[in-house]
Amino acid sequence: MAFEAADGEDPRRRNILRSLRRPTKKPKAKARPSLSKAPWESSYFGVPLASVVTPERPIPVFIERCIQYIEAIGLSTEGIYRVSGNKSEMESLQRQFDQDHGLDLAEKDFTVNAVAGAMKSFFSELPEPLVPYSMQLELVEAHKINDREQKLHALRDVLRKFPRENYEVFKYVIAHLNRVSQQHRVNLMTSENLSICFWPTLMRPDFSTMDALTATRTYQTIIELFIHQC
């Protein structure tokens, strides 16, 4: 539909409509960016995973704190990881942790959904997803194996090829999601439901090179298998 100004129309509105018709420059394509970025200058969020772990402490402190908090008081929370947390509360949690890595989540009385959402945001802000792009095609190929036991064996073989920090954190998160799924009669979050919520954050695939519908189901099933077989 063309944008045409009616007779007697406010000239300010006419100018706005004209501006909408003007061609705009397309932004330069960026290589598979993170899903989001902290709205402040952070030294912890949005940096490479290797920057926030050490050989002695292979799990990021923030992820440890979030999971410990959720497992202490939130495993029975209905829709955990599916129900969105309050955005301002999530940002407040991240900001406070940025300033104090010893932050006590229980003392601050953050809601479970805010902590769960902040944890997911940590992964969505990584420059490269937790499941490295270089490993995703191998996971897809392993998933194509018909025999279930051989498929699981092949998926685990690919997992062992992950960079050490990715491998350790992936195992830690998947084990947590398995424990969440064990309470599915209360929280309604089965391994399938959790995989639907988590696979986009953990994998962030490039849909320009594949059929989106097929890829979505494949990646979701891969994460579900890891959760279920943990």
- Please enumerate in sequence order all residues whose Cβ is within 8 A of that of 194, keeping only pairs 6 or more positions apart, or say none: 81, 177, 180, 181, 224, 227
Given this structure, which CATH class describes domain 49-228? mainly alpha
Tens-place pLDDT, residues 23-62: 444 333 333 444 455 555 788 999 999 999 999 999 999 9
Give how far Cα 94 sits from Cα of 27, 42, 64, 109, 190, Å.
29, 9, 14, 14, 27
* Of the candidate ranges 29-43, 107-121, 139-153, 173-187, the one whose mean pLDDT is the lowest: 29-43
Which residues lie below 8 Å from residue 133, measured CB to CB, with a gap of 6+? 32, 206
pLDDT of residue 37: 54
Question: Which stretches of the chain are DSSP H helices?
Answer: 11-21, 61-73, 87-99, 105-108, 112-124, 133-143, 148-159, 164-181, 184-187, 191-203, 212-228
Tokens of 9: 């129309």
pLDDT value of position 139: 96
Collapsing DSSP to helix, strand or coil, 74 comes out as coil
pLDDT tens digits for 176-227?
999 999 999 999 999 999 999 999 999 998 777 667 788 899 999 999 999 9
Share of residues in the chain with pLDDT > 70 (%): 82
The whole-number pLDDT of residue 205 equals 83
Q: Please state the domain extents for the chain.
A: 49-228
